[in-house]
């Protein structure tokens, strides 16, 4: 079955929503740490810092180097992107059921809005074989303000002529939920990613999905 046309726009997060990217991100961070003479960090501790872009990730995983006023951020950021770019598809996979769920969503326009750099995001989606399902992929370096600011969602609504009641934001983190709520869009939280369920629940999403296979049905209900 397909989602009804009453729902015009579905805005997906990438990391933790469509794809499990944590292993490659953790490997890149730890390779960077090793090059700086620092000990490895547990992958779970690195994954907990994912969601607000690479600079946020580096600030929280390299505090020994960056400190409170990270003058060295530009160089480390470029170095991290080179390291991550070389490995961003080694262990990254779509979550189970995501490919089939995307194939079932034929009514609304599908887009990706992520705080990850746009070029890397498009590369990952292409490598995973789902880039063709999205009309737009907007990265954190391509939007006026990053999530949780609502500006990019509002821009996408205008671009695709969708009202807030016709738009749903699908994400695993509080940053997705806050951005969607501030844009007055519908919210669909997913529980398989990096975010914590209780953090999602605080935003009172219109739907909460525990398996990607259930996503098309949840969106059908929101589109009624």
User: Across the 224 residues of the chain, what is the mean pLDDT of every consecutive 10-residue run?
Assistant: 69 97 96 94 90 86 77 88 96 97 94 96 98 97 94 98 97 96 97 90 95 95 84
For residue 3, what pLDDT is reported? 45
- Residue 5: its pLDDT value, please? 43
3-state DSSP of the chain: CCCCCCCCEEEECCECCCEECHHHHHHHHHHHHHHCCCCCCCHHHHHCCCCCCHHHHHHHHCHHHHCCCCCCHHHHHHHHHHHHHHHCCCCCEECCCHHHHHHHCCCCEEEEECCCCHHHHHHHHHHCCCHHHCCEEECHHHCCCCCCCCHHHHHHHHHCCCCHHHEEEEECCHHHHHHHHHCCCEEEEECCCCCCHHHHHCCCCCEEECCHHHHHHHHHHHCC
- pLDDT given at position 149: 96
Is residue 162 a contact partner of residue 8, using CB atoms and an 8 Å limit?
Answer: yes
What φ, ψ does residue 91 adopt, rounded to 5°? Answer: -125, 0
Write down the pLDDT at residue 4.
Answer: 44
pLDDT at position 42, please?
Answer: 94
What is the spatial distance between Cα 16 and Cα 117, in angstroms, rounded to a whole number?
A: 15
From the candidates 13, 24, 172, 176, which is the catalytic residue?
13
pLDDT score, position 69 = 63
- Residue 13 designated active-site: yes
């Amino acid at each position: 079955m397909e989602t009804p046309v009453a729902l015009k726009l579905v805005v997906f997060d990438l990391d933790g929503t469509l794809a499990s990217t944590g292993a490659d991100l953790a490997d890149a961070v730890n390779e960077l740490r090793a090059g700086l003479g620092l000990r490895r960090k547990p992958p779970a501790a690195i994954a907990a810092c994912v969601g607000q872009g690479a600079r946020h990730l580096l600030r929280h995983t390299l505090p020994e180097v960056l400190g409170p006023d990270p003058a060295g951020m530009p160089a480390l950021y470029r170095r991290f992107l080179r390291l991550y770019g070389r490995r961003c598809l080694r262990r990254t996979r779509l979550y189970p059921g995501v490919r089939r769920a995307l194939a079932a969503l034929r009514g609304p326009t599908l887009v990706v809005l992520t705080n990850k750099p746009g070029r890397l995001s498009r590369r990952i989606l292409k490598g995973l074989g789902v880039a063709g399902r999205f009309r737009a992929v907007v990265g954190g370096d391509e939007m006026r303000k990053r999530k949780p600011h609502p500006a990019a969602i509002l821009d996408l609504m205008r671009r695709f002529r969708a009202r807030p009641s016709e738009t749903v934001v699908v994400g695993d983190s509080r940053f997705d939920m806050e951005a969607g709520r501030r844009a007055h869009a519908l919210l669909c939280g997913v529980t398989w990613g990096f975010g914590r369920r209780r953090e999602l629940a605080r935003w009172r999403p219109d739907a909460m999905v525990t398996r990607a296979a259930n996503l098309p049905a949840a969106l059908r209900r929101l589109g009624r």
